[in-house]
Amino acid sequence: MPEGPEIHRAADNLRKALEGQIITHVECPYTTIRGQEHRFLGQEVISVKARSKAMLIHIGDDILYSHNQLYGRWTIQKLTSKERKTNRSLRIKLQPILNSSNRGRLNNTPTLQDLAQT
C-alpha cells in the first residue's frame, strides 16, 4: 500500500504537470465516475495536494479525490509515447492543453492515469 511519502511525491509530480493547466481531454471508464467527463473538460487545475494517503486535485469547481488503496498509482505519460501495458484498470485519464508557456516544463504534455488493481 502506498504510504504518505509516496503519495506526496506523486502529488508533487502531478502538481508540476497540471497546476494552472486547462484540461482538454478526459476519459472516465470507471463505473462510479463514468459520464462525469464534462465536469473537468475546459476547466483549470487549481491545485494538487496530498492529504495523508489521499490526493486532492481541485479542477474548476470540483475536487477529485483519489485514494490508491492497495495497488493504485498515478502515472504521467507523454502524448507521444505508447500507453503502458498494465494489469490495472484505468479510473481516470486527464490531458491538459499544451501551450508555449508550458511546453518546456511538461515536455510534450503528460497524460495522467489513476490505476487500480482489478
pLDDT at 99: 57
The three grid cell numbers given for residue 81, joined into one nine-digit string: 509515447
Domain count, the chain: 1
Mean pLDDT of the chain: 77
Adjacent-strand bridge partners of 48:
57
pLDDT at 101: 54
List, for residues 42-72, the tens digit of each pLDDT value: 999 999 999 888 889 999 999 988 887 766 6
Q: Where are the beta strands (DSSP E) in the chain?
A: 23-27, 45-51, 54-59, 62-67, 73-78, 88-96, 110-117
pLDDT at 48: 94
pLDDT > 90: what percent of the chain?
24
Residue showing cell 500500500: 1
Helix (H, G, I), strand (E, B) or coil at 103: helix
Residue 2: pLDDT above 60? Answer: no
H-type alpha helices, 1-106: 4-18, 103-106
pTM, entire model: 0.74
Of the pLDDT bands very low, low, confident and very high (cuts 50, 70, 90), residue 32 is confident
Residue 95: pLDDT above 50? Answer: yes
> Residue 99 sits in a domain of what CATH number?
3.20.190.10
Residue 27: pLDDT above 90? Answer: no
The three grid cell numbers given for residue 17, joined into one nine-digit string: 504537470
Query: Residue 91's domain spans which residues?
Result: 4-117
Residues for the chain: how many in total? 118
What type of residue is 111? T
Cα separation, 65 vs 63, in Å, equals 6
| Residue 31 per-residue DSSP state | T
